[in-house]
C-alpha cells in the first residue's frame, strides 16, 4: 500500500472530512487507542490540510489540527505549563538538515558557536516532572502545549524518574516516558493476566500505563529519559550554560537523561557535517536499542543561542527532529499460510498487501502461533499494523478494528499437518506435526533425537550425515536406520572407515533395552523417565502396543490426562516398530527387580561433579543408576530427601542437607552401596 506524500483535498467536503479524520486519529494516537492511520498516512493528510488551508483561508476550521501541538486533539487536562511544551519541526534528509542549519545561522546572524547537541528521538510520551524541595510532586502531560493533564498517579512507577532527588532542589525536568521492548512485553502479560486488552504498540501503551494508574490496582513500569529542564516556582537551580551541561546537572540529581543512553546517547557535534555523521551512527544503532526511536533530535547546544533563535507557535527554531523511516505501517492482511519447519513446527505466516516499512518492502510477517491469531482476533482482510525493529522479522501488532469491513473472513486453523497430512500435536502454544518418528515433518529432529546418547546412542550419526541420508532417500523413519547398507553409509559419511564405525554403532544399538528403544520413538509427552517407567511396567513392546489409554494411565508417574495422546501416538508409529522388530532390534526390558534394591525407598540428590568410582557420570547417568538401584532421584534437597551424594565443588546443598538431617555420602560411600549396578 503506497501512500501518496500529500493527500489531495479538492472540495470543502473533502477538507471537512479530512479535519475530522485527523482529529480522531490524533485523539487515538495521543490517547491510548489505536489510530485508524499510520504516521505516513497521518502526515500526508496533514500536508493536504496545510495545502488546502493556504488557498481556502475562509474555509479554515477553528478546530483544525494544523499548527497545533498534539494534533488539536491530545487529552488536555487543566494544569498550566510553566513554559510551553512544544513539538518539533521535521527534516527527512541530509539536504534538509543542511537547510535547517543555514536557517538557524540566519536567525543567529552568525555561525553556530556552541555546537549541536544530538540525541535519539524517543518514541513515547512527553511529560513534565515537577520536583519541589527534591521531592517529585507532580507529573504533567504535554496536552496542547499550554495545559496538560495531571498524571501524578504514576509517580513511583517510572524507572529513571526517582521520587527523591539527590539534593532538595525545586526544578521541572522534561523528557519522554516510554515502554522499553522488555517492559512492553511484560506490560502485555500483566494486561492479559488482568483481563485487559493487550496494548497494540509501545507508544500508546505508555499513555495507557500512565493514565491507567488513576484507576488500576497494579502498576505497569515505564522508563523515563530527560531531554530538558526549566525553572519552577521562580527558582533557578540550573547553572549550566548549555543543554548538555544542564543534562549533566540533572543526571547528578539522580534523573536518567538522554546522555545516559549507551552508545546512541547525547553528544555534541561542532558542525552540521558532524551532526549528519552522528545521525547516521545513531540510525545504525536503532535496531540494537532496548526501546523504539523514531528519529534523532538536533538542538543548538548553547542556551544563549537557543534564546536568540526563539520559538514558533508549534515548535522551537533552535531544534529539529531528523525523522527516520517509520517502523510501523498499516496494510491489509490478504491470507495466512501455514509452513512446516524443519523440526515439524507448524507456523502461520501473514501474506500482506506489500507495504514499505523502514526502507524495505514487506509482504510477509510472522503470526507466531495459532494462539496469537485467536488472542488478537485477527481476520483475513483486516487492516493490520506491521512493525519492524532493526533486522527483526516483521511482526503484526494488531488489527485496526475501527477499519474492519464486511469482507472479513475467519482464519482457518489447520486440522492436519499442511505438509504431510498427518496428525497435529496442539498441546503446546506452538503446534507441531505429530508425524515425528513415523516420517512426519519433524523427521530430521526426530532422527537426531533417536540417535542421541540417552536413546540409541549412535553418536557417529551427526546432523550432516542424517541430512545426507534423508536427502538420498535412504532414511524415511528411524526403522530405516537399522537396514542401512555399508554402501549407503559410505556415501553419506564420505568414508569407508566412518561407515564401518557407524555400522558397529548401529549393531550395538540393536541390543539397547526396551526403554531406550521406546524413548527413541519420540512419543508425545514422554521423555526418558516416562519411557523407563513404561518399559518397566509392560516389559515388552508387544505389551506396550496392546495397552489402551486406561492401561497406560496405570503406569507410575504417567499423568492420566496424557494417556490417550500417548496411546494414539504409539498406534500411529506401529509400522516403524514393525520395521525395528524385523531388523532385530531388542524389544524387551531386562528385568531388574528394583524393589529390594540397595536404594529401595531412598530419595537421592546428587551435587557436585562425580569422581573416583563414579567418574564421568553426568546427572542423567546418575539418575539411571539411582533408579536401577530402586531409589528415586531428585534435583533439590528437601524434607523428603534421604541421601545426598556429594562430589567435587558441591555448593549450598550440603549445609542444607546437614540442617535437615539428611545422610550425606561421598562418591566412594555411595558407589559401595550401589556396587552391583556399577558395571
Ligand atoms: N498515526 C496517527 O494517527 C498520528 C496522529 C498524530 C500524530 N502522529 C505523528 O506524530 C508526529 C507529530 O507529533 P508530535 O508533535 O507529538 O511529535 P514529534 O514526533 O513531531 O516530536 C516532538 C516530540 O518529540 C519528543 N522527543 C523525543 N525525544 C526527544 C528529545 N531527545 N528531545 C526533544 N524531544 C524529544 C517529545 O515528546 C516532543 O514532544 C508525526 O510524526 C505524526 O505522524 C500520528
Ligand atoms: Zn507433517
Any catalytic annotation for residue 640? no
What is the whole-number distance in angstroms between the Cα of residue 172 and the centre of ligand 2? Answer: 61
pLDDT of residue 300: 98
pLDDT of residue 439: 53
17 Cβ neighbours under 8 A, 6+ residues apart: none
Q: How many domains does the chain have?
A: 5
* 146 & 278 share domain: yes
* 558 & 462 share domain: yes
Residue 676 burial (CB count, 10 A) = 10
Greater model confidence, 610 or 595: 610
pLDDT of residue 435: 66
Flag whether 303 is in a domain.
yes
Rounded to an integer, the average pLDDT of 554-558 is 89
What is the whole-number distance in angstroms between the Cα of residue 222 and the centre of ligand 1? Answer: 18
pLDDT tens-place string over residues 434-481:
765 455 677 888 898 999 988 999 988 988 899 899 888 899 889 999
Residue 113 burial (CB count, 10 A) = 12
Residue 359 — very low, low, confident or very high, per pLDDT cuts 50/70/90?
confident
What is the whole-number distance in angstroms between the Cα of residue 501 and the centre of ligand 2? Answer: 32
Euclidean distance between CA atoms 583 and 510, whole angstroms? 8
Q: Is there an atom of ligand 1 within 6 Å of 243 CB?
A: no
* 313 & 333 share domain: no
Flag whether 504 is in a domain.
yes
pLDDT of residue 434: 76
pLDDT of residue 581: 97
Taking a C-beta distance cutoff of 8 angstroms, is the pair 48, 7 a contact?
yes
Of the three residues 307, 323, 339, the one that is the final residue of a domain is 323
pLDDT of residue 343: 65
Euclidean distance between CA atoms 266 and 236, whole angstroms? 23
Could you identify the atom of ligand 1 that is nearest to the CA of residue 43?
43
pLDDT tens-place string over residues 260-314:
998 999 999 999 999 999 999 999 898 889 999 999 999 999 999 999 999 999 9
Residue 2 — very low, low, confident or very high, per pLDDT cuts 50/70/90?
very low
Flag whether 416 is in a domain.
no
* DSSP structure string for 489-524: HHHHHT-HHHHHHHHHHHHHHTTS-HHHHHHHT--T
349 pLDDT above the threshold of 50? yes
Residue 1 — very low, low, confident or very high, per pLDDT cuts 50/70/90?
very low
Name residue 409's beta-bridge partners.
380
Q: Is the ipTM of this complex over 0.85?
A: yes
Q: Is there an atom of ligand 1 within 6 Å of 176 CB?
A: yes
Rounded to an integer, the average pLDDT of 334-357 is 89
500 Cβ neighbours under 8 A, 6+ residues apart: 486
Rounded to an integer, the average pLDDT of 364-386 is 91
pLDDT of residue 422: 81
What is the whole-number distance in angstroms between the Cα of residue 357 and the centre of ligand 1? Answer: 18
Residue 415 burial (CB count, 10 A) = 9
* 215 & 363 share domain: no
Could you identify the atom of ligand 1 that is nearest to the CA of residue 294?
19
* 362 & 318 share domain: no
Nearest Cα residue to atom 35 of ligand 1: 121
Question: On the CB side of 142, how many CA atoms lie within 13 Å of its CA?
Answer: 25
pLDDT tens-place string over residues 179-237:
998 999 899 888 888 888 878 788 889 999 998 887 877 889 999 999 999 999 988 78
- Catalytic: which of 54, 121, 516, 653? 121
Euclidean distance between CA atoms 233 and 570, whole angstroms? 77
Rounded to an integer, the average pLDDT of 659-675 is 91
Q: Which ligand is nearest to the CA of 417?
A: 2
Flag whether 673 is in a domain.
yes
Could you identify the atom of ligand 1 that is nearest to the CA of residue 69?
15
Q: Which ligand is nearest to the CA of 37?
A: 1
Q: Is there an atom of ligand 1 within 6 Å of 119 CB?
A: yes
* 290 & 332 share domain: no
Nearest Cα residue to atom 38 of ligand 1: 87
* 140 & 62 share domain: no
pLDDT tens-place string over residues 496-530:
999 999 999 999 999 999 999 999 998 888 888 89
Of the three residues 24, 53, 73, the one that is the final residue of a domain is 73
Lowest-confidence pick of 335-349, 470-484, 487-501: 335-349
Grid cell in block for residue 289: 536499542
What is the whole-number distance in angstroms between the Cα of residue 527 and the centre of ligand 2? Answer: 21
Residues annotated within the binding site are 39-43, 87-88, 119, 142, 176, 299, 323, 417, 420
75 pLDDT above the threshold of 80? no
Q: Is there an atom of ligand 1 within 6 Å of 35 CB?
A: yes
Nearest Cα residue to atom 42 of ligand 1: 39
Q: Is there an atom of ligand 1 within 6 Å of 42 CB?
A: yes
Q: Which domain holds residue 573?
A: 435-582
Rounded to an integer, the average pLDDT of 82-93 is 94
Rounded to an integer, the average pLDDT of 528-556 is 93
* C-alpha distances in Å from residue 525, one per residue of 424, 428, 558: 13, 10, 9
Mean pLDDT, rounded, of the chain: 90
Which of 33, 42, 64 maximizes ligand 1 atoms within 8 Å of its Cβ, making it the mutation to test the pocket? 42
Instruction: List for the chain the helix, strand, coil content (%; round to 5).
Output: 40, 20, 40
Rounded to an integer, the average pLDDT of 24-48 is 88
Which of 6, 28, 29 maximizes ligand 1 atoms within 8 Å of its Cβ, making it the mutation to test the pocket? 29
* 88 & 17 share domain: no
CATH number, residue 471: 1.10.150.20
Lowest-confidence pick of 20-24, 141-145, 525-529: 525-529
What is the whole-number distance in angstroms between the Cα of residue 654 and the centre of ligand 2? Answer: 48
Rounded to an integer, the average pLDDT of 484-495 is 92
Flag whether 401 is in a domain.
yes
pLDDT of residue 616: 85
CATH number, residue 384: 2.40.50.140
Could you identify the atom of ligand 1 that is nearest to the CA of residue 126?
37
Euclidean distance between CA atoms 21 and 45, whole angstroms? 9
Q: Give the global pTM.
A: 0.66
pLDDT tens-place string over residues 560-606:
988 998 999 899 889 999 999 999 999 999 876 656 788 988 999 99
Residue 402 burial (CB count, 10 A) = 12
Amino acid at each position: 500500500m503506497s501512500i501518496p506524500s500529500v493527500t489531495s483535498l479538492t472540495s470543502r467536503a473533502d477538507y471537512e472530512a479530512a479535519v475530522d479524520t485527523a482529529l480522531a486519529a490524533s485523539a487515538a494516537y495521543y490517547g491510548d487507542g489505536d489510530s485508524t492511520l499510520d504516521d505516513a498516512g497521518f502526515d500526508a493528510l496533514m500536508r493536504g490540510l496545510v495545502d488546502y488551508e493556504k488557498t481556502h483561508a475562509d474555509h479554515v476550521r477553528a478546530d483544525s489540527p494544523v499548527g497545533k501541538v498534539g494534533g488539536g486533539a491530545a487529552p488536555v487536562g487543566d494544569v498550566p505549563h510553566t513554559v510551553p511544551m512544544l513539538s518539533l519541526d521535521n527534516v527527512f534528509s541530509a539536504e534538509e538538515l543542511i537547510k535547517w542549519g543555514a536557517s538557524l545561522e540566519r536567525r543567529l546572524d552568525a555561525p553556530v558557536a556552541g555546537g549541536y547537541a544530538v540525541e535519539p528521538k524517543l518514541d513515547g510520551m512527553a511529560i513534565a516532572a515537577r520536583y519541589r524541595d527534591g521531592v517529585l510532586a507532580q507529573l504533567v502531560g504535554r496536552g496542547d502545549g499550554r495545559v496538560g493533564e495531571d498524571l501524578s498517579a504514576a509517580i513511583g512507577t517510572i524507572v529513571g524518574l526517582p521520587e527523591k532527588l539527590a539534593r532538595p532542589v525545586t526544578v521541572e525536568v522534561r523528557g519522554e516516558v516510554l515502554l522499553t521492548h522488555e517492559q512492553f512485553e511484560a506490560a502485555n502479560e500483566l494486561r492479559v493476566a488482568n483481563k485487559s486488552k493487550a496494548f497494540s504498540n509501545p507508544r500508546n501503551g505508555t499513555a495507557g500505563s500512565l493514565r491507567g494508574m488513576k484507576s488500576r490496582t497494579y502498576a505497569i513500569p515505564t522508563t523515563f529519559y530527560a531531554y530538558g529542564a526549566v525553572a519552577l516556582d521562580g527558582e533557578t537551580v540550573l547553572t549550566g550554560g548549555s543543554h548538555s551541561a544542564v543534562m549533566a546537572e540533572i543526571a547528578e540529581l539522580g534523573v536518567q537523561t538522554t546522555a545516559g543512553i549507551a552508545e546512541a546517547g547525547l553528544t555534541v557535534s561542532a558542525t552540521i557535517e558532524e551532526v549528519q555523521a552522528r545521525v547516521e551512527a545513531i540510525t545504525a544503532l536503532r535496531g540494537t536499542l532496548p526501546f523504539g526511536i523514531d528519529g534523532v533530535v538536533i538542538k543548538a547546544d548553547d542556551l544563549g543561542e537557543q534564546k536568540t533563535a526563539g520559538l514558533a507557535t508549534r515548535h522551537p527554531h533552535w531544534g529539529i527532529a531528523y525523522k527516520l523511516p517509520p517502523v510501523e505501517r498499516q496494510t491489509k492482511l490478504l491470507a495466512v499460510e501455514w509452513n512446516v519447519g524443519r523440526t515439524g513446527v507448524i507456523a502461520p505466516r501473514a501474506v500482506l498487501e506489500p507495504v514499505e516499512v523502514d526502507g524495505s518492502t514487506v509482504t510477509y510477517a510472522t503470526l507466531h502461533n495459532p494462539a496469537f491469531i485467536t488472542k488478537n482476533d485477527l481476520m483475513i482482510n483486516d487492516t493490520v499494523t506491521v512493525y519492524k525493529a532493526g533486522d527483526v522479522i516483521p511482526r503484526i501488532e494488531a488489527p485496526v478494528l475501527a477499519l474492519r469491513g464486511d469482507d472479513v473472513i475467519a482464519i482457518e486453523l489447520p486440522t492436519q499437518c499442511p505438509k504431510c497430512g498427518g496428525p497435529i500435536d496442539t498441546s503446546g502454544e506452538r503446534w507441531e506435526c505429530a508425524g515425528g518418528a513415523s516420517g512426519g515433518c519433524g523427521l530430521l529432529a526426530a532422527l537426531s533425537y533417536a540417535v542421541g546418547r540417552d536413546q540409541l546412542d549412535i553418536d557417529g550419526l551427526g546432523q550432516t550425515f542424517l541430512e545426507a541420508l534423508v536427502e538420498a532417500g535412504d532414511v524415511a523413519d528411524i526403522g530405516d536406520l537399522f537396514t542401512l547398507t555399508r554402501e549407503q553409509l559410505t556415501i553419506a559419511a564420505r568414508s569407508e572407515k566412518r561407515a564401518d564405525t557407524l555400522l558397529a554403532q548401529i549393531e550395538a544399538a540393536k541390543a539397547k533395552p526396551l526403554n531406550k528403544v521406546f524413548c527413541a520413538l519420540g512419543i508425545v509427552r514422554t521423555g526418558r523417565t516416562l519411557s523407563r517407567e513404561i518399559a518397566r511396567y509392560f516389559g515388552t513392546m508387544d505389551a506396550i502396543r496392546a495397552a489402551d489409554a486406561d492401561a497406560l494411565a496405570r503406569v507410575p508417574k504417567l499423568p492420566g490426562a496424557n494417556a490417550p495422546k500417548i496411546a494414539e501416538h504409539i498406534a500411529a508409529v506401529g509400522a516403524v516398530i514393525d520395521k525395528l522388530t524385523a531388523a532385530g532390534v531388542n524389544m524387551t526390558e531386562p528385568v531388574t527387580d528394583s524393589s529390594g534394591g540397595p536404594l529401595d525407598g531412598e530419595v537421592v540428590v546428587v551435587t557436585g561433579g562425580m569422581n573416583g568410582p563414579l567418574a564421568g557420570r553426568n546427572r542423567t547417568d546418575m539418575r539411571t543408576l539411582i533408579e536401577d538401584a530402586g531409589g528415586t532421584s531428585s534435583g533439590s534437597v528437601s524434607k523428603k530427601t534421604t541421601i545426598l551424594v556429594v562430589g567435587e565443588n558441591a555448593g549450598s546443598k550440603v549445609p542444607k542437607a546437614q540442617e535437615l538431617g539428611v545422610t550425606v555420602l561421598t562418591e566412594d560411600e555411595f558407589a559401595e552401596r550401589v556396587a552391583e549396578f556399577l558395571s
